[in-house]
Amino acid sequence: MSQGYPRLLGDIGGTNARWAWQPSAGSPLQDISVLPCNASASLQESASSYLAGRGPDRPRSAAMGIATAVTGDEVSMTNNAWSFSIAAFKQDLGLERCLVINDFTALAMSLPALHVSDLLAIGGGVAVADSPIALIGPGTGLGVSGLMPGAHAPFSALSGEGGHATVAPTDDMESELLACLRRRFGHVSAERVLSGAGLINLYQSVCEVNGSLVRAMEASDVTDHALAQSDPACMQAVRLFSSFLGNVAGNLALTLGARGGVYVGGGIVPRLGSAFDACLFRERFEAKGRFEDYLRPIPTWVITASTPALVGASRALDVMPQ
């Protein structure tokens, strides 16, 4: 495995492309930049635009977390129009090595490097050492990953598309809301309620169930009205978001046996601030019948660090095969 430096590191979501430069092993990331995806026609153009600002310096290797499934050389984004060939990207930039992984696999790789100051604890007890760790994160989409302890490395990161698993209700109101969404989408995945678009879906469904007027809203509008307590439907939508996130995170903790803790990434929960109902999140997280006692001690944290997936991308380059 090449560990060539300097490195170009990327965290490519549905809305923004985050880029960074790492000049040498163990060095802090430099020149972190956030470029809107819609400002560039392609991933190659976004990377070239970033590198142009660095002058003549060229990377020897690159690692990128991409918000989609990576199953071969051809990669198509889920929540924007970009698609690319890994081999062509590598050739265009003259790289010795180019590693492309799911963005939440990259974020999972960063978890062992996070500090207490990078996290906000939201319940539970103490993590059990050498146990699986779960990761979930609502943003433009819904990312899911985790770390599994291994024989030859401290942890191996999971790569999957758990955000597209079917979401389940926990009470009658949630059943009505999901029935509304089934009429619109057919299959209702967790991402349909736990994402930026999910906030809008929840708001519109709340209005439909309550028989109230649906106003044109962006996800940021739903959040702002909930924070200001200026719109009951927006406040209820965010409360439902907190409930669904706790429910799905609890399912993930059970599935992975994540006694090492559950981390909540993505940009939405930090943006919700005081409107996020942490108590309801934990209530739904633990409300798994006979396994409440199993889940109660599992700690949950919100990741507050600004660009941890870039660190995870670099760590992945050190340990993952080509």
Question: Rounded to an integer, what distance in angstroms lies between the CA atom of residue 198 and that of residue 163?
Answer: 12
Check if the beta carbon of residue 260 is closer than 8 Å to that of residue 128. yes
pLDDT at 322: 61
Question: Rounded to an integer, what distance in angstroms lies between the CA atom of residue 141 and that of residue 13?
Answer: 8
Check if the beta carbon of residue 167 is closer than 8 Å to that of residue 223. no
Question: Rounded to an integer, what distance in angstroms lies between the CA atom of residue 19 and that of residue 12?
Answer: 8
Q: Please report which helix (H) or strand (E) contains residue 34, including its range.
A: strand 30-36
Residues of the chain with pLDDT under 70: 1-3, 151-153, 321-322
Check if the beta carbon of residue 4 is closer than 8 Å to that of residue 96. yes
pLDDT at 151: 66
pLDDT at 57: 87
- From the CA atom positions of the chain, what is the Rg in Å? 20
Tokens (6 digits) for 148: 């599994």
pLDDT at 305: 94
What Cα–Cα distance (Å) separates residue 297 from each residue in 125, 126, 170?
4, 7, 21
pLDDT at 248: 98
Q: Is 81 helix (H, G, I), strand (E, B) or coil?
A: coil
Check if the beta carbon of residue 14 is closer than 8 Å to that of residue 198. no
pLDDT at 2: 46
Report how far apart the first and last C-alpha atoms of the chain are (Å, whole number).
7
What φ, ψ does residue 228 adopt, rounded to 5°? -85, -5
In degrees, rounded to 5, the angle at the alpha carbon of residue 196 between the alpha carbons of residues 80 and 288 is 120
Residue with tokens 């999957």: 160
Which domains can be identified in the chain, with CATH numbers?
7-103+307-319 (3.30.420.40), 115-304 (3.40.367.20)
Check if the beta carbon of residue 67 is closer than 8 Å to that of residue 141. yes
Q: Determine how many CB atoms are found less than 10 A away from the CB of residue 117.
A: 8
